[in-house]
A and B are shown apart, each in its own frame.
Chain A
Amino acid sequence: MIDVLVIGSGGAGLSAAINAAKEKAKVVVVSKSKLSNNHTVMAQGGINAALGNVESDSVNKHIEDTLKAAHGLASPDMVKLLCESAKGAIEFLDSCGVVFSRLKEAKEKIKSIAQRRLGGASAKRACYGKDFTGLRIFHSLLDCAIKEGINFLEDMLLLDLIVEEGKVKGAIFFDVKEGLIQELWAKTTILATGGFGGLYLNESTNIDLASGDGLVAVLQNGGAVSDLEFIQFHPTALKSSAILISESARGEGGYLVNSDGKRFVNELAPRDEVARAVYKELQEGREVFLDLRHLGKEKLLELMPQELELARLYEGVDASCELVPIKPVVHYSMGGIPVNEKMEAIGFENCFVVGEAANAKVHGANRLGGNSLLEIIAFGKIAGKNAAQKAKEIKFQNPNQSHIKKAQSELNHYFNKPIRINFYSARERLAKIFYEYVGIIRDEASLQKALIEVKKLQNQFEFMGIMDKSRKNNANVVDFYSFKNLLQLAPLVIHAALLRKESRGAHFRSDYPNEDAKFNYHILLKAREEKNADKN
């Protein structure tokens, strides 16, 4: 029997898997698509750790910066745990062979790692590997996982958790290659399924499959999710493709200028402030550009070759001598499944959650650049170790019955129902609704409007289904379930944004533009409350 079933092959999943395997657990890692199809490979800028390699820094300053950006909604204990684990996280990555950029003069071990400043940080704190930080982390972790003999299953779509009397006993999947529903029984289960930026589709830096599947699985079983209203917008994505240009571009000295050639914001302020400033410029009819020209081609090639190439390939500009047109787009989901300090999902037994899918209360209302990669590595380790430990305590844990039937009949239903509406068009519609009405700046009227529009889509869902009728290798099934999950999450996000009648971090309400101490709490929602919201 599987000791630790890890669902998700991003950095959080791999860090958990490796650490569980080191405890001698039998580990299986499952991913929805190809193993490398995740957000970890896309991370460019860096991973935070107050090593003080380049300038004076301290764990306390890291804690302070993180708490400040979180606007009162992070747990000081969890933030302390995160920042104190940072050095160990870098040492772990170093021992897996991650190729970090190093300082010019030779130094011992991780003291030789170069560091750069990202937004909201009071020191140069982000360790990086050129602008391929996440890519390098992912692949070294993958290599390390191969070394540990971990089993991988690609193209396995999580449909639901197997829960009996509050105990999670594995999960149910759609095996895309075979076209079959499958159960994987496990002593412990780790959800590392990532965020839900797919709600905004092409107005986000996320992959289309970022549909919060882990959150929905928890909701389906009576669990709760929290802080969904806090969705981070990144200020600098390429204008025509929404592909990210990393914050490191500003960290290394890049400017933001408008079409009048004027700088209009402190480029290194926290993301929410910069994103709103950019949005305002665009609203007022000016274009916004990232200006890297003064940094010089040589430096750009050395520090951010990827940014140069992305700008050339996807925007048709040479960033070393031309302005790069940009816009703010959705980037990161601060909210998720609430966990305790062991990464256990609150309300479930033998179930852990880690990474962007989790709400470990370290980002609060706004995440600092570089803190997410840190979270997935540091907390991935905690999740992996605890899951392996827990698995040792469990002698035998087979489900009392098979849970395939229900999933099977649901799948058959989606295959066989008459279809009148193309769900891909509905998915685009949903993204438009969210960008327009649940965007960088929202208010009561826009959110109510969004709720009505989402309700319409939910009614139309009856006429949508799986359009490709083939069984094997049918990606249409994956896209359909992802859309279904987004449609399930959508009203919860809106509901949370409606309930928070204030502005805080990434959540900005033009009708309540100030932070209000009254709202110094987390909004926790269950699937049931979605129905209440619908009635309003």
Chain B
Amino acid sequence: MQIKIKRGDEFKAYKIEKAKLLLEALLEIKHNIDYTLAFDYGCKSKVCGTCAVRVNGKETLACAHRIKDGDEVEPLRYEKHLKDLKVEQASIQKIAQTQGYLHEFCEYTMDAQDEAKNDIQSDCILCSSCFSACPVLEVNQNFAGPYALTRAYRYAVDKREANAKSIIEAVQKDGVWDCTLCGECTLVCPKGIDPKSDIMQLRNISAQHGYFDPNFSNNFGGFDPNFTF
């Protein structure tokens, strides 16, 4: 079987003898054929989030992708490219931007249903697949991106959060309203997380806090209380 890996500006073909999964193939190449191949990996079991790449134009985890003859493998997009398949993730900055953390812990009571509200979102492995799939990031590098907004949502709806408002405030600029709701992020998430729907929820919560879509008020002029000339 042959797979192609983008190195520099072009794809280079490699013959794979044993590997079935893409990560196994990358290791086979690195250990035996070309020691200079650069890529990240760790747990080999879909939790460390370090081995995401694009195969035939679609984001996937190398440790979970079964290779097929002719597969074309490229690094993730919109992250700082380092070498071959290795990128530097912007996750720390992006989470800082959306303030996707617990702001103010409060006394609470909880049951399994309360927990279900942000259960799935808290399984995010920060693989950046959604980031690389998001068309908005192609034109606006300041956009927070899907996983950072999902994080903001996950804390904003947490019963332990006494200050959801400050999270909501942080996702207004280059945040919830910049998303086109195309759903590309949801399609590629290896953990079944749905950032698009989290963003829609965040918009609803934003509205409850008195924030409105700036594009909408621009078009229709004047009735947004936050809108001034």
Q: List 13 A-B contacts (CB under 8 A).
A: A34-B89, A38-B48, A41-B43, A95-B105, A107-B110, A135-B123, A146-B92, A146-B96, A243-B44, A310-B46, A473-B38, A475-B38, A475-B40
> How far, in angstroms, from A243 to B42 measured CA to CA in the complex?
12
A99-B115, A147-B101, A177-B82 given; A207·B38 CB < 8 A: no
CB distance from B97 to the nearest CB of A (A): 10
> Is A389 interfacial (CB 8 A cutoff)?
no
> Is B138 interfacial (CB 8 A cutoff)?
no
Q: Which of B48, B103, B108 contacts A34 (CB 8 A)?
A: B48
Chain B at the A interface: mostly helix, strand, loop or mixed?
A: loop
CB distance from A156 to the nearest CB of B (A): 13
Q: Smallest CB-CB separation from B82: which chain A residue?
A: A473
> How far, in angstroms, from A154 to B47 measured CA to CA in the complex?
18
User: Please, what's the 1-or-0 string for A123-151, where 1 marks a CB less than 8 Å from any CB in chain B?
Assistant: 00000011010011001101110110000
> Is A416 interfacial (CB 8 A cutoff)?
no
Interface residue ranges of B38-68 to A (CB < 8 Å): 38-40, 42-50, 64
Contact: B109 with A36, CB < 8 Å? no
Interface residue ranges of B82-139 to A (CB < 8 Å): 82-83, 86, 88-89, 92, 95-96, 99-103, 105, 107-112, 114-115, 118-119, 122-126
> Is B174 interfacial (CB 8 A cutoff)?
no
Question: Closest 10 A-B residue pairs measured CB to CB?
Answer: A143-B101, A97-B102, A37-B42, A99-B122, A106-B111, A473-B83, A467-B35, A424-B31, A102-B115, A147-B101
> Is A284 interfacial (CB 8 A cutoff)?
no
> Is A422 interfacial (CB 8 A cutoff)?
yes
Q: Which of A106, A146, A306 has the most CB of B within 10 A?
A: A146
Apart from A41-B43, A243-B45: 17 A-B pairs, beta carbons within 8 A: A41-B49, A97-B101, A97-B105, A97-B158, A99-B158, A102-B112, A102-B115, A106-B110, A132-B47, A132-B122, A140-B102, A207-B44, A207-B48, A469-B36, A475-B30, A475-B38, A475-B39
Contact: B109 with A107, CB < 8 Å? yes
> How far, in angstroms, from A496 to B47 measured CA to CA in the complex?
34
Q: Which of B50, B83, B123, B161 contacts A36 (CB 8 A)?
A: B50
- A contacts with B, residue count (CB < 8 A): 63
- B contacts with A, residue count (CB < 8 A): 53
> How far, in angstroms, from A311 to B122 measured CA to CA in the complex?
22
> Is A94 interfacial (CB 8 A cutoff)?
yes
> Is B143 interfacial (CB 8 A cutoff)?
no
Contacts of B160 in A (CB 8 A): 94-95, 97
> How far, in angstroms, from A106 to B115 measured CA to CA in the complex?
10
Contact: B102 with A143, CB < 8 Å? yes
Q: Which of B31, B42, B46, B48 contacts A309 (CB 8 A)?
A: B46
> Is A103 interfacial (CB 8 A cutoff)?
yes
